[in-house]
Amino acid sequence: MPSLPSFIELTPSGPFCRPGGFYVDPWRPVEKAVITHAHSDHATRGCGTYLASTTCGPLLRARLGSDISLTTLRFGEQLAVGDVLVSLHPAGHVLGSAQIRIEYRGEVIVFSGDYKLDADPTAERFEPVKCHTFISESTFGLPIFQWQHPVEVFARINDWWRGNQRDGRTSVLFVYSLGKAQRVLASLDPSIGPIGVHGSVHNMNKAYVEAGVGLPASVHANEITAKELRGAGMILTPQTAGESPWLRRFAGPDGLSLGNVSGWMQVRGARRRQALDRGFPVSDHADWAGLNAAIAATGAQRIGVTHGSTEVMTRWLREKGVDAFVVPTRYVGETGEASEPDEATAPSGDAPAKEPGAAFDDTGEPLTNQSDDAVSETRAGGES
């Protein structure tokens, strides 16, 4: 059976590169962390040092604290870390998201992190990286996930906003505060009306602007701006605010119209279960076709599959003659605001990381992914 190269170990703290002395997207605080992107299921609070892309830097500081010890690399720039060469390459997931290329004695492994192939005005576009082993996410690793062109979906969002405005309803879109919010904001038509954003989105917008990304004008949605937003505006907010008094203050003469922008909106019944008026299937992850295209473009002889529908994707690749294997993880893909909270609280703890060893959790149980059925049930209302 294929497996990780000998210089990469799967440990209770995450993937560990022994000759480099660092972890990739560790699951708990460690001394040295190389980070794919700033979402909290990949960027753990409390590490001694961090290495990330240049454009990820402001987002990491906004999420983890301005005083973290952070080194940044431009995309494509190589850095010797211990006995290995490390370089970062665009993943397309969110601003600054990177694939991590590690080379040791002529052998190359690439950790994809989360990625998408679609163009996005707020993120660097995915670039395939040739390697011997490719570790790919599979959040939407099922054939049912085939994305519509995002331009078409965003056109429907703007039409929905116009219709709500005519009827005196305030439009509300539930989005991740980091990544999805900025992508949606960049695709809205600001001529329709005012755009308000939740405080967590407002903070991330500032980090995006610091990183050089231009965004349409928006206001911090609060008691001061509520009057201009009622019945005419669009509000971008994490779903955690959906039933809060904060949101109700923006209701127009005919109330609120609630929508969600997520790949999970393609799952039948997801909108109904969340009591949404509209669901818009736009994802910051690759769909089934995108995953297969990205994997093929690497030319890798071995494919490790992690996060999401790992068993389905692995079985599919093996049936095509690819040496594929599951890489266990504590996460099965992005879970929504439960794992991406407003106040940027990442998994944390004071205990130091254990020494590298077998892939077991703190209870001694093997680290495994949920079943695909469990994923379908628990993720349908999530965000990605």
Task: Name the nearest CA neighbour of 114 among 300, 328, 287.
Answer: 287
* pLDDT of the residue at 360: 28
In a domain, 2, yes or no: no
In a domain, 1, yes or no: no
Indicate if 159 and 241 belong to the same structural domain: yes
Q: Report d(CA 90, CA 99) in Å as an integer.
A: 6
CATH number at residue 344: 3.60.15.10
Residue 275 to residues 171, 240, 258, 270, 271, Cα–Cα distance (Å)? 15, 14, 8, 9, 6
Indicate if 288 and 271 belong to the same structural domain: no
Indicate if 312 and 268 belong to the same structural domain: no
* pLDDT of the residue at 101: 99
Beta carbons within 10 angstroms of residue 108's beta carbon:
19
Indicate if 225 and 255 belong to the same structural domain: yes
Indicate if 188 and 289 belong to the same structural domain: no
CA 100 distance to own-chain centroid: 15
Q: Which domain does 78 fall in, by range?
A: 8-145+284-379
* pLDDT of the residue at 354: 31
Q: Report d(CA 369, CA 306) in Å as an integer.
A: 8
HSE-CB of 348 using CA atoms within 13 angstroms: 9
End of a domain among 265, 280, 295? 280
Q: Report d(CA 368, CA 32) in Å as an integer.
A: 24
Q: Report d(CA 165, CA 299) in Å as an integer.
A: 50
Domain total of the chain: 2
Indicate if 13 and 112 belong to the same structural domain: yes
Indicate if 119 and 238 belong to the same structural domain: no
* pLDDT of the residue at 344: 28
Indicate if 304 and 195 belong to the same structural domain: no
The proportion of the chain whose per-residue pLDDT surpasses 70, expressed as a percent, equals: 85
Do 314 and 375 touch, CB atoms closer than 8 A? no
Indicate if 292 and 197 belong to the same structural domain: no
In a domain, 52, yes or no: yes
Q: Which two three-digit tokens encode residue 238?
A: 């994490």
* pLDDT of the residue at 377: 29
CATH number at residue 219: 3.40.50.10890
- Listed as ranges, residues in the chain with pLDDT below 70 are 1-2, 331-384
Q: What is the pTM of this model?
A: 0.86
Indicate if 177 and 268 belong to the same structural domain: yes
Q: Report d(CA 185, CA 205) in Å as an integer.
A: 10
In a domain, 129, yes or no: yes
Indicate if 192 and 109 belong to the same structural domain: no
Indicate if 134 and 158 belong to the same structural domain: no
In a domain, 311, yes or no: yes
199-210 helix and 57-64 helix, angle to the nearest 10 degrees? 150
In a domain, 230, yes or no: yes
17-31 pLDDT per residue, tens: 999 999 999 999 999
* pLDDT of the residue at 371: 32
In a domain, 3, yes or no: no
79-109 pLDDT per residue, tens: 999 999 999 999 999 999 999 999 999 999 9
